[in-house]
């Protein structure tokens, strides 16, 4: 079993706030992340796939193919967008990075698992100090 990780970057805005809570309650729970005027991050996304190496190519997957899958199904939908308003796969979800990692997994798993590889993990660096990893 071999593991390969592809790194991509995207910039996005979001706000942590429950619409069924008051502004005061959102502020109390989510702090400045509930800013009504949004805030943004320069996210780093790490997509790790696993599997056996193809004897003919020497690859687990073609990294250009993996890049294209990630960009088409995730990065193009997230980059320079508002996670709360613009991203179809985040609709009706609280825009936490935890929920974002799960949503990215759900977007990628059918495409990657139809190849020679399996999706192993999604890791997102929201900041240099806040890192979320999801294993499905």
Name the residue among 126, 127, 57, 118 with its Cα closest to residue 96.
126
Active site residue 126: yes
Distance CA(111)–CA(74), nearest Å, equals 12
Which one from 72, 80, 106, 133 is the annotated catalytic residue?
Answer: 80
Active site residue 80: yes
Active site residue 33: yes
Q: Are 45 and 124 in contact (CB under 8 A)?
A: yes
Residue burial 17-40, b: 16+ Cβ < 10 Å; e: rest: beeeeeeeebbeebeebbeeebee
Which one from 33, 73, 111, 120 is the annotated catalytic residue?
Answer: 33
Distances (CA, A) of 81 to 5, 14, 20: 24, 9, 24
What are the residue numbers of the active site? 33, 80, 126
């Amino acid at each position: 079993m071999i593991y390969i990780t592809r790194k991509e970057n995207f910039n996005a805005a979001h706000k942590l706030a429950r619409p069924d809570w008051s502004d005061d309650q959102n502020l109390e729970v989510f702090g400045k992340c509930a800013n009504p005027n949004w805030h943004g991050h320069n996210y780093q996304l790490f997509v790790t796939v696993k599997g056996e190496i193809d004897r003919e190519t020497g690859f687990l997957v073609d990294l250009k193919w993996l890049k294209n899958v990630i960009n088409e199904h995730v990065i193009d939908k997230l980059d320079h967008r508002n996670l709360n308003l613009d991203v179809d796969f985040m609709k009706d979800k609280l825009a936490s990075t935890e929920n974002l990692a799960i949503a990215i997994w759900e977007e990628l798993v059918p495409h990657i698992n139809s190849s020679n590889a399996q999706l192993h993990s999604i890791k997102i660096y929201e900041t240099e100090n806040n890192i979320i990893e999801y294993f499905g």
